[in-house]
Copies of this chain bind each other. A is one copy, B any other.
Amino acid sequence: MIEEALQERAKLVDEAIPKFLPVTPPDEMYHAMRHLLNAGGKRLRPSAVLLAAEAVGGKPENVLPAAVAIELIHNFTLIHDDIMDEADLRRGMPTVHKKWGVPRAIIAGDALYSKAFEILSCTRSEPQRLVESLELVSKTCTDICEGQWMDMNFEKRKDVTEDEYMRMVEKKTAVLFATALKIGATLSCANREQSRALWNFGIKTGVGFQIYDDVIDLITPEEILGKAQGGDIIEGKRTLIVIHALSKGATIEALGKNNATRSEVSAALTALKESGSVEYAMNKAVGFVEEGKDALKELPDSEAKNLLRGLADYMIARKY
């Protein structure tokens, strides 16, 4: 049921994207901006905007521009992240900088960023609520940058604590999901308590999702993942799994080793499983999602509220 409900909302978002982001001159720039967007994806963040609106009694179609804006911001971060990570593939397709070169990928990302604000500012709502939403989204983008910067700092360190990791992942991932939910509510005339509940739901499930995502990224075979397995290991990313394993004294030879062989990556995966770190991270992810669902008790009962609970479970349900 949740999958069907999400597909319905993803369809709304898919149809809205070309409407709000038409290809205009210089055409090639807009093709570059739409490259990853066209590759599909589950549209969890924009669907969260729509569901949050519904959960506070609003109409999802009224916040559709805000939903598209959130998806554009997500895609902007992917384009710039891929440049920074020198990633060749995303969703089984060449990354934007791989196809258009780094300078144009930087611009395509920047343009998605501004388009997001442009589209968001056209959402029909009370001006004061619109200003609040624009302010929150911009603050969130700053947080994402801070999280990304922290993440890069971590790669050079051996002593990153779980607390530091949690702060990083909250900024890098969770705030955008929480913002999606909060602006969906705010733009739909939610009261403060409702907006806050949805924000808390977003932060907790967002952190849980990122931890889970790191696990899946680690254990999924290349042919399903659409990119090389163990990329986080090779890049030296301090995921919760790695932080836990290091604290348990595990040896991970391939960590941060650019030229690690397949068998070294494979040995690292085994070490991370044997130290119990994969299971530890999985359990943490589930715990956060449960806390997130708890936050929803502030909202009146509704189908949308049930769907949000379903969404939270869904975020940590996929096997790969």
Contacts and interface: CB of A to CB of B under 8 A. Distances in A.
Interface of A: 25-26, 28-29, 80, 83-84, 102-104, 106-111, 113-118, 121-122, 126-128, 130-131, 134-135, 137-142, 144-146, 148-150, 152-153
A227 to B, nearest CB: 18
Q: Chain A binding site: helix, strand, loop or mixed by DSSP?
A: helix
Contact of A122 (B104, B110, B135, B150): B135
A242 B150 CA distance: 44
Copies of the protein in its oligomer: 2
Contacts of A148: 107
A110 B113 contact: yes
A114 B131 contact: no
Given A84-B106, A106-B80, A152-B104, A26 B146 contact: yes
A107 B26 contact: no
Given A106-B84, A145-B107, A149-B28, A114 B139 contact: yes
A111 B150 CA distance: 13
B111 A145 contact: yes
A95 to B, nearest CB: 14
Contacts of A153: 26, 28
Contacts of A139: 114, 118
A4 to B, nearest CB: 35
Contact of A131 (B25, B115, B121): B121
Nearest to A142: B114
Given A103-B83, A127-B128, A150 B114 contact: no
